[in-house]
Structure 1
Amino acid sequence: MSPADPYLHRYATRAQGMTASEIRALFAVASRPEIVSLAGGNPDVTVLDFDEVADVAARVIRERGASALLYGGGQGLGEMREQLTGVLAAEGIRARADDLVVTTGGQQALDLLARLFIDAGDVIVAEGPTYVGALSAFSQYQPRVVHVPMDSDGVVPEAMADVLDRLRAEGVKPKMLYTIPNHQNPAGVSLTEDRRRAVLALADAHDLMVVEDNPYGMLDFKHETRTPLVTLAPERVIYVGTLSKIFSPGVRTGFVLAPHAVRDKLVQLKEASDLCQSNMTQAIAEAWLRTQPWREHVRAFTELYRERCDEMLSEIEVAFPPEAHVAAPTGGMFTWVRLPEPIDTGALLPRAINARVAYVPGRGFYADGSGKQEMRLNFSYASADRIREGIRRLGELIGDELELLHAFGR
C-alpha cells in the first residue's frame, strides 16, 4: 500500500494503471502568459460573434427555459439530433435523427464505445500515432493497442495487412479499428480515397469493426469533402462526431451515428453514466445551428487555421534542423514533427518550458512507448506572431540540444 495513496489497495484493477494525460498535465504550465503554448487543442473561438452567442443563449432561456433547465432523455433532444443530421449532410452523410445519440463531447462517445465493446485483453488496432484521448478512454478497459504505421496519405494498407496477418497467425482476432481519417490528430494527414476503400476491404476480410472519429473533417484547407467511411460500409462503421471544432468545445456536444442495436446499448450506457446530456447546452447548440450561418463560421475557422499553419511551416523550415521531418497538414489543427536522433522530446520538454514554449511529446500518442523523437504542435489557438516566436524558441533549443548531444558523442 502506497503511503501517498491509502486507497490503492481498494481500487478496481482497471483503475490502478490509470495515468494522467500528458496534455492535461501540461495545461497548468502552458497557460502561463509568458509561455507560447503550441501544446493544446483549443479552437480559436474569437472567430465567433460573442454578442450573437449571447443572444442565442438568452433566447433559449427566455423562450425554452422551462424545458432547457430540466432533465432530458438519454438519446439527446430530438431537435438537437435533427440539427446534427444537417451537420452530417455537410460531411456527405445521410442520417436520420433517430440514428444518433448525443454525448458529452466526442470524448464521452469514445468512452461509451469502449465500455460497450472492449473486454480486458482485447486487441484494438489504431493508427500510430493516434489521439491521446482515445488511448486514455480505451485504457480504462485494459485492451492491447496495436499501431499501424502512417505516411503522408494516412494509414498504409500494406502495413495494416501485415499487422492483421500477424495477429491472425498468433490466433488473435482484433475487436476494432480506431481511425481518424480526416486531418488526423496528431499527424494532420488525411486518408486518400483509394486507401479508404483498401482499409475497409481489410476490415471486411478480417471482420473488423471500425470506429471512425471525425472531429476535423470540415476544417479542410482546400474546402474539400472527403468520403466518410461510414457511407462506404454503414453496417461495419460506427461514426463519432463533435461540435467542439466547428462551434465550441464549451457546449460539450458530441454524437454517435450507429446501427440501432448499438444505438440502444449506447443510450443505456449514457443513462447509467450521467442520466442525460445537458438540455441547456443542447438547446443553445441547436439554436445556434438553426439560426446562425454556421458553415460560414467553419470556413472562417478553416481559413484562419490554414494561414497560421502556413506561418508555422515556414518558420519551421528556417528554424528547425534540416533533418527534421514535418508532415504538412491537410487541415485540422496540428502539425507533427519528427526530430533527428538522438533527441528525446519528452526529456527536452522541461528545457522548452524554461525557454517559454510548450509542445506535446510524441510518446503520449502511442500505446507502446514509441514517439521518442516526435512532437505535436498546435496552430489553431496562438496568433501568427506567437506561433513564429514559439517556433524560433524551439528551433534554438533543438539546435543547442543537438550540439550538446553530439559533443558527448551521442
Structure 2
Amino acid sequence: MRLDTDPYLARYASRVQGMSASAIRALFALTARPEIVSFAGGNPAVEALDLEAAEAVAAAVIRESGAIALQYGIGQGRPELREQLVAVMAHENVPGHVDDLVVTAGGQQALELIAKCFVDPGDIVIAEGPTYVGGIGALSSHQADVRHVPMDAEGMQVDALEDLLRQLSAQGRRAKFVYTIPNHQNPAGVSLSIDRRHRLAELAEQYDLLVLEDNPYGLLDFAGRLQPSIRQLVPDRVVYVGTVSKTFAPGVRTGWIAAPHPVRDKLVLLREAADLCPATLTQMVVERWLATQPWREQVKRFRGVYQDKAEAMLGALDEHMPGGVTWTRPSGAFYIWMTVPAGIDTSDLLAKAINHRVAYVPGRGFYADGSGGDQLRLCFSQPSPERIVEGVERFGALLHEELELVRAVYGAHAPAAASRPNEGRGAVG
C-alpha cells in the first residue's frame, strides 16, 4: 500500500511515518527464484551446521526439561545461558560477568532496545558509513540524526570521528553514542585496526562518549585471529552486542547485550515491556548446545566454508570485473563492498542484474543520508563456490555493458569516479 493512500496515515506515531522495508528484505521474494545467483541476503551457511547434533540437543531439552522450556522466564534471560555466553565472550577475550548480560531475540532486538533506551527524536548518533541496514532501521525508528564517519581499509576513520566530535562540541552538542561493527564489518567487510581501537577508546574518555560495539563476526576471521574489543579497553563506556546467529544458527533468535549495570537495569525494563522475557525454549537449546557440543570446532568449520567461498568470489572478481570497479578484500565473515565507476547507479542497475539472473544489495540502503549510489554489497555466504563464479561472471558481463553505455552517452566527458581510499583492485585485505 502506498504511504500517500494509507487511510491510517493521520493516526500513526511520527516515528513510523517514514519507515519502509529495508533494501534487503524487499529483495527476498525475487532472490528466492532458483535461477538467480543471490549475493543479497546475509544468511549464514546453516547447511554447514551439524544438524543431527542440533536435533539431538533440541530433543533433549524437551525430553528432560520440557515443563521449564515451555514456560515463562525472567526478563534478563536464564542465568545458565548467560554463563555460557560469558564463556563465548571470554573465548574472544571480551570481559563480562553473568550479571552484565541481558538476553535478546538476536542482535537486532538488542540494537532496537539500545536505541529505545538512549535516543530521543533528533538526537545525534554517529555510525560508520556504510553501516548495517538493521542498525539504521533501529536508529531511524527512534528518529535519530545519524551522522556517518567514512571508512577505509582499517575500518572507521577515527581521525574523521575526532573531527566530528570536535565540531559537535563547538556547537554545544554531543552524540548519544557511536555505533561500530569493528570486526569484518557489515557491509564493508573490513576490520578496525588495533591502533584505531585504542584511539577510539581514548576519544570515548576524552569526549565522554558511549560506544555501541556490535560484534556478530569476531569469531569468523579466516585465520582465527582475535582482535581486542572496545569493551576490553574501556568497559564502562561500552554497550556490547553479541549473537549466536552467525556461529550457531539465526533461527534460534538468541543474542545478548553486555552493559554497565545501570544501563542493564533499564534494558531489562524495556524488554519486559516489549515481550516479558526471551523465549525459554530457544534459550535452553542454545544453552545446551554451548554446554555439550564442540561449538569452537563448529565455528572453525564455518570459517573454512566462508574462506573457500571468499576465495572463489575474489578470484572471479579479479577475472571478470571491468576496469574502474573496485572492491574490498575481507579477511573474515562474508561481505565484499564494491564501488562502480561514476555514471552507474547501483539502485537503477538492480533490475538489470535480476534480468541477468544475479542479485546484490544497492549501497544506498547502508547509509542514513542517501549516499552510496555508486556502491553495493556482495554476500558470498549462501551460494556454492561454483555458483559464486557463475554469478560474478554474469554481473561482470552486465557491468561491461553498462560501462559501454556510459561511454556512449558521455564520451570523453564521462563523470570522474570518486576516490575511495577503502577500496582497490586487489589492494584491500
Partner SS, residue 332 of structure 1: coil
Taking a change above 3 Å as real, the CA distance of residues 3 and 14 of structure 1, as seen in their structure-2 partners, is closer
CA distance in 1, matches of 2:286, 2:407: 54
Question: Percentage identity across aligned positions?
Answer: 55
Taking a change above 3 Å as real, the CA distance of residues 176 and 2 of structure 1, as seen in their structure-2 partners, is closer
CA distance in 2, matches of 1:199, 1:321: 37
Q: State the partner residue of 1:341.
A: 342
Partner SS, residue 173 of structure 2: coil
Deviation at 1:3, TM superposition (A): 6.7
Deviation at 1:353, TM superposition (A): 0.7
CA distance in 1, matches of 2:37, 2:3: 37
TM-score, length of structure 1 as denominator length: 0.98
Amino acid at match of 1:304: V
* Within-5 A mapping of 1:219-368: 219-368=220-369
Amino acid at match of 1:173: R
Q: Deviations over 1:205-260 (max 9, x none)?
A: 21110000000000001211100110100000110000000000000000000011
CA distance in 2, matches of 1:264, 1:257: 11
Partner SS, residue 64 of structure 1: helix
CA distance in 2, matches of 1:378, 1:405: 26
Deviation at 1:2, TM superposition (A): 6.2
* Within-5 A mapping of 1:175-186: 175-186=176-187
Say whether residues 1:125 and 2:126 are aligned partners.
yes
Amino acid at match of 1:345: T
Deviation at 1:50, TM superposition (A): 1.1
* Within-5 A mapping of 1:17-166: 17-166=18-167
CA distance in 1, matches of 2:261, 2:162: 30
Say whether residues 1:202 and 2:203 are aligned partners.
yes
CA distance in 2, matches of 1:352, 1:3: 30
Partner SS, residue 235 of structure 1: helix
User: Contact 2:92–2:219 (CA<8 Å) still a contact in 1?
Assistant: yes
CA distance in 2, matches of 1:163, 1:347: 32
Partner SS, residue 22 of structure 1: coil
Amino acid at match of 1:63: E
Q: Deviations over 1:312-352 (max 9, x none)?
A: 01111111112111111121110101111111100000110
Return 133-142 or 400-409, whichever deviates more.
Answer: 400-409
CA distance in 2, matches of 1:3, 1:341: 33
Partner SS, residue 408 of structure 1: helix
CA distance in 2, matches of 1:96, 1:353: 47
Q: Deviations over 1:119-156 (max 9, x none)?
A: 10100111010001000011011011111111001111
Amino acid at match of 1:285: V
Deviation at 1:4, TM superposition (A): 2.9
Q: State the partner residue of 2:425.
A: none
Amino acid at match of 1:408: V
Deviation at 1:203, TM superposition (A): 2.1
CA distance in 1, matches of 2:215, 2:381: 17
Amino acid at match of 1:211: L
CA distance in 1, matches of 2:319, 2:168: 43
Amino acid at match of 2:156: V
CA distance in 1, matches of 2:16, 2:301: 42
Partner SS, residue 343 of structure 1: coil
CA distance in 2, matches of 1:2, 1:136: 18
Uncovered stretches (5+) of structure 1, i.e. residues with no partner: none
Partner SS, residue 126 of structure 2: strand
Partner SS, residue 303 of structure 1: helix
CA distance in 2, matches of 1:258, 1:158: 26
Return 276-285 or 167-176, whichever deviates more.
Answer: 167-176
CA distance in 2, matches of 1:152, 1:3: 42
User: Contact 2:95–2:231 (CA<8 Å) still a contact in 1?
Assistant: no
CA distance in 2, matches of 1:233, 1:32: 46
Partner SS, residue 305 of structure 2: helix
CA distance in 2, matches of 1:174, 1:78: 33
Say whether residues 1:173 and 2:141 are aligned partners.
no
Uncovered stretches (5+) of structure 2, i.e. residues with no partner: 415-429
Aligned-residue CA RMSD (Å): 1.1
Q: State the partner residue of 2:378.
A: 377
CA distance in 2, matches of 1:264, 1:169: 33
Structure 1 moving runs of 4+ over 6 Å: none
Deviation at 1:102, TM superposition (A): 0.2
Taking a change above 3 Å as real, the CA distance of residues 3 and 167 of structure 1, as seen in their structure-2 partners, is closer
Partner SS, residue 314 of structure 1: helix
User: Contact 2:120–2:142 (CA<8 Å) still a contact in 1?
Assistant: yes
